[in-house]
Amino acid sequence: RVGELFTRRIAGEPIAYLVGTREFYGLRFEVTPAVLIPRPETELLVELAIDRLPRQSRVLDMGTGSGAIAVAIAYSRRDAAVSAIDLSDAALALARRNAAHHAVPVQLLRSDSYAALTDQHFDMIVANPPYIVDGDHHLSEGDLRFEPVDALTDHADGLSALRIIINGATAFLDSAGWLLLEHGYDQATAVRALLNAAQFTDVQSWPD
Ligand code: GLN
């Protein structure tokens, strides 16, 4: 078994897929090649979310994948009602197992962006969407070669998923609500412009 794992690792397969787990925010997450491997950078998004979340509020995680962000928030903030959506049934099944493993209630729903959400309002929306530009060389290097490509890139300018989330958010957010997004290292100016154009105030960028 070690020999087989060694061979797969030599071929570049990420450790997280070989062992089937990855630690995120101090919690153990089951991962499969159906989802992005949770990254330490994204822990900043969780910290900022927890800091800003009012008591007893409703949070939506868009494109939850393994459920890492949603489960970490639900685990740290037992007062929060956490919902999470994803387009992938395999991701939803995995997120359900990760929520169950940590015994936190996360409401999971299959949805293409906001499509399946009707009449729901949130105090906060969080997302780590696919933001890598089509054709970026990182997509064909290292761990990324083994991760689900639709979780990494929008196959366009890298901003299209961010645009959809930002432009749709106001319909689902309370007026004092927060939208917290992870984006690429070179996208801060563009993302702030999108947020300002969508009438968001108190727009901030945080390098992770
Ligand atoms: N930050 C990740 C990477 O550079 C990409 C995550 C994403 O596209 N949401 O590998």
Average pLDDT of the chain to the nearest whole number: 97
How confident is the model at residue 176, as a pLDDT? 94
Residue to probe by mutation, ligand 1, list 128, 138, 145, 160, most atoms within 8 Å of CB? 128
Q: CB–CB of 81/103 below 8 Å?
A: no
pTM over 0.85: yes
The stretch 115-144 carries a mean pLDDT of: 96
The stretch 42-62 carries a mean pLDDT of: 98
Pick the atom of ligand 1 nearest to 153's CA: 8
Pick the atom of ligand 1 nearest to 144's CA: 10
DSSP output for 48-104? HHHHHPPTT-EEEEES-TTSHHHHHHHHH-TTSEEEEEES-HHHHHHHHHHHHHTT-
In this model, does residue 3 exceed pLDDT 90? yes
Residue to probe by mutation, ligand 1, list 143, 152, 153, most atoms within 8 Å of CB? 152
Ligand 1: residues with CB < 6 A are: 39, 128-132, 144, 152, 182
In this model, does residue 159 exceed pLDDT 90? yes
Within 10 angstroms of residue 138's Cβ, the number of other Cβ atoms is 14
Q: What is the pLDDT of residues 69-107, one digit of tens each?
A: 999 999 999 999 999 999 999 999 999 999 999 999 999
The stretch 121-150 carries a mean pLDDT of: 97
Q: Which residues of 187-204 are buried (b: 16+ CB within 10 A; e: fewer)?
A: beebbeebbeebebeeee
Pick the atom of ligand 1 nearest to 36's CA: 6
What percent of the chain stands above pLDDT 70?
A: 100
How far is residue 25 from each of residues 128, 171, 198, measured CA to CA in Å?
A: 15, 30, 31
Residue to probe by mutation, ligand 1, list 182, 186, 191, 208, most atoms within 8 Å of CB? 182
Q: Kindly report the protein residue whose alpha carbon is nearest to atom 1 of ligand 1.
A: 184
The stretch 133-153 carries a mean pLDDT of: 97
Q: 127 C-alpha to center of ligand 1: Å? A: 12
Q: 131 C-alpha to center of ligand 1: Å? A: 7
- Rounded CA-CA distance 33/37 in Å is 8
The stretch 161-178 carries a mean pLDDT of: 97
pLDDT band at 118 (very low <50, low <70, confident <90, very high): confident
